[in-house]
Amino acid sequence: MGSKTPLYQAHVDAEARIVDFGGWDMPLNYGSQLDEHAAVREAAGMFDVSHMTIVEIKGSEAKPYLQYLLANDVAKLQESGKALYTGMLHEDGGVIDDLIVYYLNDAHYRVVVNAATREKDLAWLENVAQQFDVSVEERSDLAIIAVQGPEAIEKAQATFSDEQKAAVSELKPFMAAYAGDLFVARTGYTGEDGYEILVPDNKAIELWNALINAGVKPCGLAARDTLRLEAGMNLYGHDMDETVSPLEANMGWTIAWEPEGRDFVGRKALTEQKANGVARKLIGLVLDGKGIMREGQEVVLNDEVVGVVTSGTMSPTTGKSIAMARVQRSVDAEDVLVQVRKKQIPAKVVKPSFVRKGKSLI
Amino acid sequence: MSQIPAELKYVSSHEWIRDEGDGIVTVGITEHAQELLGDVVFVEAPEVDSEVDVEDEIAVVESVKAASDIYAPLAGTITEVNEELEDSPELINSDPYGDGWMFKMKIDSGDLDSLLSAEQYAEEIADE
C-alpha cells in the first residue's frame, strides 16, 4: 500500500483506477483519459497533485540560500506571490529536480517539488541549508488541487467566498495569493489557464466536491501526462534527470547567468558547457505515419541512431503521435525516422510545443 | 467484474476465440484486457494470408499510454481482419466481443480444447 493523499477516498468513491505513482496511490483515470483530456482543453478539469512536496524556506538568509541553491535567480521575485520555474542542479550541472518557488517575503519562500524525487530533494535542500541561516520545513498538512482549462478560473471562483474572489481577482499568470485558508497560484502544467490551489488537508474533499458541483471534471494522471506533453512541458525522470544538463533539456531560459557575481550550484559546469557546447538537444517530433511513439524508442537519421524518445504519446487534441526526443546537437534534419516497434516511421522535427490554449501548433 | 461470455474460449494473454465452424475462428481481446489498456487509439492488424504459429506476436493494440502485443492463440492462417478498427479503434473499448473483433483465422488443427474455458479464464484473471 502506498501513501494516500487527503483526497484518496474521493477518488475511490468516483471509481478511479488507482495506480502506484512514486509510492503514492493515485488516480490514473476516472473511466476515460480521453474525456478527461478533452475537459481540460475545452472547459475545466482538475487534478489531485497533493503528492507533490511543499517546502517552506524561512530565515534571514532564505534569499541568499535560494540564490545559491537554484539555477534561476530568486532576486527576480520582487512582488509577494510571484513564482519562478527553475532547475535545482548538481555541481556537475545535472538536474536534481525542476521546481516552482513562490516568493512571500525575503525571509519566506515556498517551494514545490516533484513527488517521486521527494527524499533526495529534501536531503539536498537540508544539505545546502547547513551553510545558511535558514529552516527547511516540509508541509504535509496541505493538499494541492490543480484546476485547469479555459473555464477553470471562472468555475473555481464560483466555489470561493466574496473575500476569496477579491483576493484572486487581479491574479496574473505565475502569481499566487492567499485567499482565506487557501493559497491560490495561477500556475499549471497543461498549457491552459488555471489555478493550483493549496488547501488545508482537512478541507480538501470539501473543495474538491465544490469544484465538481461547479462543473470541474476530475482528471487522472494519465490525462495530466498527455496534456503536459502536448504543451511541451518536461517531465522529470523522462525528459531530464541528473544525467542531463538543463542546456540539453530546453531549460536554458531558466538559468540566470546575470549577475555574473552570483555563484550557484552547477554554475561552473554550465559555464564550461556553454563555452564548449553541449552534446545533445531536446526536439519535438510529430509522426507522419501510423503508430505511436513511446519513451525509449530510437531516433534514426541516415541509418544511424542519433537519439532517443524521452516522452511519446498519441496526442488527443491533434490526433497525431507526438514526442520529445533527445538527439545529438548536430542533428539539423527536418525529418527523421523513429523505430516504432518493428518499423521505422518518418517523423517531422518541430519545436517541442504542440498545443497551446486548446489550439494545435503542428 | 467484467464480462466473460461462456460460449467463447480464451488464452491467458487475454485474447478470446469464437469457433465459427469449418476450422475458422474469430479472435479479439477480452473486456478485462480493454479495461486494463484504457482508451484504445490505434490497432496494427495482422496481414491477411500470413501464416502464424501459436503465441506469435501478430498484432498490436495501443492505448494512449501503452502498447500491447496480441498473440496468435493457435497456429493457422489469417483470413480476414476487422478493417473498421483502422478508423474506429475505440470499438475495442465499446464492444470487445462484438464490433471490436480483431481478426479471423483458419486454424491448422481443430483442437480448440487446448484453450481456456470462460471459467478457467475467470480464475486466471482473478489471480492478477
* H-state helical runs in chain B: 31-37, 84-87, 91-94, 118-126
Q: Which ipTM was obtained for this model?
A: 0.79
Nearest-Cα residue of chain B relative to residue A340: B67
pLDDT for B127: 73
Confidence label for A1 from pLDDT (cuts 50, 70 and 90): confident
Partners of A313 on chain B (C-beta within 8 Å) are: 64-65
Q: Nearest by CB to B39, which of A32, A290, A291?
A: A32
Q: Give me the residues of A, 50-79, that contact B with CB < 8 A.
A: none
Q: Which of B90, B45, B94 is nearest to B63 (CA)?
A: B90
* A315 and chain B in contact, CB less than 8 A: no
How many whole angstroms separate alpha carbon A225 and alpha carbon B41?
16
Cβ contact, residue pair B41, A292, below 8 Å: yes
Grouping H, G, I as helix, E, B as strand and the rest as coil, residue A38 is helix
Positive or negative, the CA dihedral A35, A224, A185, A12 is positive
How far apart are the C-alpha atoms of B90 and A238, rounded to whole Å? 28
Q: How confident is the model at residue B1 (pLDDT cuts 50, 70, 90)?
A: low
Q: Provide the residue type at B33 as one letter.
A: A
> For chain A, how big is the Rg over CA atoms in Å?
21
A314 shares contact with chain B (CB less than 8 Å): yes
Please report where in the chains the cell 478485462 appears, as a residue. B32
Residue window 294-313, chain A: list those with CB within 8 Å of chain B: 294, 313
pLDDT confidence of residue B64: 87
| Residue of A30, A314, A321 to mutate, interface with B, max B Cβ within 10 Å | A314
- Please enumerate in sequence order all residues whose Cβ is within 8 A of that of B52, keeping only pairs 6 or more positions apart, or say none: B46, B58, B72, B75, B76, B77, B78, B105
Q: Is the pLDDT of residue A127 over 70?
A: yes
Determine the average pLDDT of the residues in B36-47: 93
Q: Which of B38, B42, B67 sits opposite A222 (nearest CB)?
A: B38
Mean pLDDT value of segment A120-127: 97
pLDDT digits (tens, 9 = 90+) for A232-261: 999 999 999 999 999 999 999 999 999 999
Q: Is A33's CB within 8 Å of B38's CB?
A: yes
Q: Is there a contact between B65 and A292 if contact means CB atoms under 8 Å apart?
A: no
What pLDDT sits at residue B65? 78
| CA gap A40, A147 in Å, rounded | 9
In the predicted structure, residue A76 carries a pLDDT above the cut 80: yes
What pLDDT was estimated at residue B128?
65
* pLDDT at res. B111: 76
Q: Could you report the per-residue pLDDT of B58-109, keeping only the tens digit for each?
A: 999 999 878 899 999 999 999 999 999 999 999 999 999 999 999 999 999 7
Is the confidence at residue A25, as pLDDT, over 80?
yes
Predicted pLDDT of residue B110: 65
> Residues A160-197: pLDDT tens digits?
999 999 999 999 999 999 999 999 999 999 999 999 99
Alpha-carbon gap, residue B26 to A190, rounded angstroms: 42
Pairing of strands A182-185, A17-21: unpaired
Smallest CA–CA distance from B57 into chain A, residue? A342
Position A262 pLDDT exceeds 90: yes
What is residue A109's predicted lDDT score, i.e. its pLDDT? 98
CB within 8 Å of chain A, chain B residues 38-57: 38-39, 41-42, 44
Q: Residue B39 is nearest to which of A34, A291, A292, comparing CB atoms?
A: A34
Q: How confident is the model at residue A96 (pLDDT cuts 50, 70, 90)?
A: very high
pLDDT in tens, A300-350: 999 999 999 999 999 999 999 999 999 999 999 999 999 998 899 999 999
Residue A40 has pLDDT above 70, yes or no: yes
β-strand partners of A335: A348
What's the confidence (pLDDT) of residue B83?
96
Count of helix runs (H) and strand runs (E) in chain A: 9, 21
Tell me which of A292, A293, A297, A321 to substitute to probe the interface with B (most B C-beta atoms closer than 10 Å). A292
| C-alpha distance across the termini of chain B, in Å | 13
pLDDT in tens, A133-144: 999 999 999 999
Question: Is A290 part of the contact surface with chain B (CB cutoff 8 Å)?
Answer: yes
Share of chain A above pLDDT 90, in %: 97
Q: Which of B32, B48, B52 is nearest to B92 (CA)?
A: B32
Which three cell numbers, joined as nine digits, stand for B26? 474469430
